[in-house]
Structure 1
């Protein structure tokens, strides 16, 4: 699962932290390997026109395709650089969301008034999870898939009820 409890379960401590991040199917090293393999595969047909004027006509399109692929994957990767940290102490709960463009959003509430809510339908995503406390309701883990959000919902409910990470 793309989230981690600190301290690791099963601990019966009142202070804990939960870090969530989007799943990455393409790691940085694999990103470079993918671009290299794509370049190699597309270059193979160019070998047949090596030494002819056709090569110079096809080369700009080959370069444009590689640049477009690199740019699209880079943009996708940067948009997925989200980190959410929920820190719960004996008196308060603090959620910090680190956005891809460098901004931060923060929420804080009295730990004993924080409740976890699951919205199976009607939210922006299926099994939408929100934390309610104080005067605001905030989302958590919207980038996770539906099954991961269900597991997270159960874990969060248990952790907030017992006062310790599951």
Structure 2
């Protein structure tokens, strides 16, 4: 699961992050394999002026793949941090760019909701302090359901 609980004497903390399916080593392998597969047809054209024309499009394609994957990696650097203490629940959404979004509430009044009628399947929210905030926006429906059980248990105990 792309989240982990940690505990200190005064608080429990939950950190959530998007799936990290492509490691830096996997990125290098993918780009290398893509470059190799794209250059194989060029071997037959070596010595021909056409190779330069095709090489130009090969570089455009490889650059597009590179930029798409690095943009995805930047998006994966966002995370959510939930801190539970005796007198406060704090949720921080840390995007890859932009300001950190923070929500705070009294843990005795926080309600954990898992709805099927939300914008996504198994829509997981926390309600308290006159606001309702989404948590685990990048988790799968099964992971949100499991997190619902864990959050309910953590807030009760």
1:98-142 CA deviation, whole Å, 9 max, x = no partner?
01214210000111111100112x212100110011111100001
Structure 1, gaps ≥5 residues long? none
Task: Quote the Cα distance in structure 1 between the aligned partners of 2:30 and 2:36.
Answer: 10
- Segments of 5+ residues of structure 2 without an aligned counterpart are none
Return the alpha-carbon distance in structure 2 between the equivalents of residues 103 and 40 of structure 1.
41
Report which structure shows greater RCO (CA 8 Å, sep ≥6).
1
Tell me the equivalent position of 2:118.
123
User: Which residue of the partner structure matches residue 17 of structure 1?
Assistant: 13
Measured in 1, the distance between the counterparts of 2:124 and 2:7 equals: 22
TM-score between the two structures when normalised by the length of structure 1 = 0.90
Which secondary structure state, in structure 1, belongs to the residue aligned with residue 82 of structure 2?
A: strand
In the aligned structure 2, how far is the partner of 1:79 from the partner of 1:150?
23
- Aligned partner of 1:28 in structure 2 is 24
Secondary structure at the aligned position of 1:23 is classed as: coil
CA distance in 1, matches of 2:20, 2:119: 21
Is residue 98 of structure 1 aligned with residue 80 of structure 2?
no
After superposing on structure 2, the runs of 4+ consecutive aligned residues of structure 1 that deviate more than 6 Å are none
- Cα offset for 1:29? 2.1
- Rounded to whole Å, the distance in 2 between the matches of 1:77 and 1:124 is 25
Q: Which residue of 2 aligns with 1:53?
A: 49
SS in 2 for 1:32: helix
1:65-96 per-residue CA deviation (whole Å, 9 max, x = no partner) reads 00111111112222222210000111100111
* Secondary structure of the corresponding residue to residue 90 of structure 2: strand
Find the partner of 1:157 among 148, 152, 156: 152
Give the structure 2 partner of residue 41 of structure 1: 37
The structure 2 residue matched to 1:70, chosen from 45, 66, 69, is 66
SS, match of residue 5 in structure 2:
strand
| 1: CA distance, partners of 2:81 / 2:69 | 26
Shift of 1:28: 2.1
Count of residue pairs brought into register by the alignment: 157
